[in-house]
Structure 1
Amino acid sequence: MSVWSRIVEMAARAFDPEAEPPEFNEECAPRPNDVGFTAAVIGLAAKMAKADGEATDAELRAAAQVFRPPLGEEEHFRRAFSLAKQTVLGFDSYAKQIGRKYRARPCLLEDVLDGLFHIALADGYVGEAELKYLAEVAHHFGFSEMEFRRIKATNLGPDAGDPYAILGLLPGATMEEVRHAWRRAAAENHPDRMTQRGAPPEFVEIAREKTAAINAAYAKIREELSVDAK
């Protein structure tokens, strides 16, 4: 029996909320034949695709790009994905078990999240339900809210209202980097510079608003970082 056909058997239990999640091998990193790990991640991926109410063919193709089933095993992969996507129930069991097993390997867990984001983006848009699902998976993986903001920003781009985005940074930047970015942005957008260049009053007012937003972003990040340091 091939690895993928065994995964199909395990995925058949993925939509049963009473079923136990698959057991992992004891290695600290997944191997190509680590059926339990692969089945659990496929379960997460398929359930994520279902999170917005409809798992599309585009998401299936994106999942195939992530998992790369070998030639001749494509149908088994489609079958496993189809079985697992029937409901989002039970996803937290998969996420918790992966998180417990690989907590010491955050790069591996981030790779899994990157793959989930890739699948979520397959239809060109990541909805609120999908973002909520991804945030919950990240939580079960042991990532902080700040770490999830960084991972989200690297996959989707930063939110326009995020204080880090206002300063041209990604979440996770050091206080020194934040301070340097704030000083640069404040200097470039200072109203006095606009006045010196002979800009019209409307432009000067825009500069004042931008400066206020830059200062507010800096204050917000300083507050966040001081809380995290306690």
Structure 2
Amino acid sequence: MIFGKLVAGAIGLIVGGPIGLIAGLFLGHIFDRGLGQTLQAGSAENIARIKEQFFETIFLLLGYMAKADGRISQQEVDHTEMIIRQMRLDSTQRQRAIDLFRRGASPEFQLHSTVSAFVEVAGRQPQLRQTMLLFLISLALADHGIEPEEHEALGTIAALLGFNRLQLEQLLRMAQAQEQFHHRDAGQPDSPDRLQAAYAALGLTAAAGDRELKHAYRKLMSQNHPDKLIARGVPEDMLQVATEKSQEITAAYDLIRKHRNGSR
């Protein structure tokens, strides 16, 4: 790829003569390298590779988290089966997911190398690493709670993905608050605690202005938009998780707007 070298070199030659040409070629080389990496990251081949790695990593890490307390309970097995049903996997995918889960729960499982392999494939996509962590949190919350051992395992995984403890705790608070709006009964009364949970679901407090509220909502909806997730390399099988997350976020946002409109 030489587009950047040609353009920057020509500009450098016109502006600074031979020295400008050399400087322009150098800058053009940097541009071409960055552009090449960007195009490669978005290629169909690379997206397919990321999807494969994402699927594999998710179920390996779920197995690791389930075994974090030293044993796998029947509840955790049922929980994993529920996730598989939620993703509507076919028989082949289902068996592969189970095999990966068992590998992740085995004593021989190598956590660091597994996460490192995913980070390497994800490349310069911090949003994809966050998506991985958010999916793990959402799936861990599917049985309506995170055990202390799971919490510690999530902390280790988050660090390997490049997130500190404060960032993890913020994501956990948001996810746990969003969980309160999962398949919400429309007839359920709105309480101050529920309103507070709605703000927490969007990562805000009641002091947030209308513009900040709308920005937070749009950002979260964008993060869970199916087209964007697919473009990043999230397998289609896992889009149901994002769809339900979007519904929870929308329910929380609607509650806040209803309260604010009624207060005016």
**TM-score, length basis structure 1:** 0.49
**TM-score, length basis structure 2:** 0.44
Higher helix fraction (1 or 2) = 2
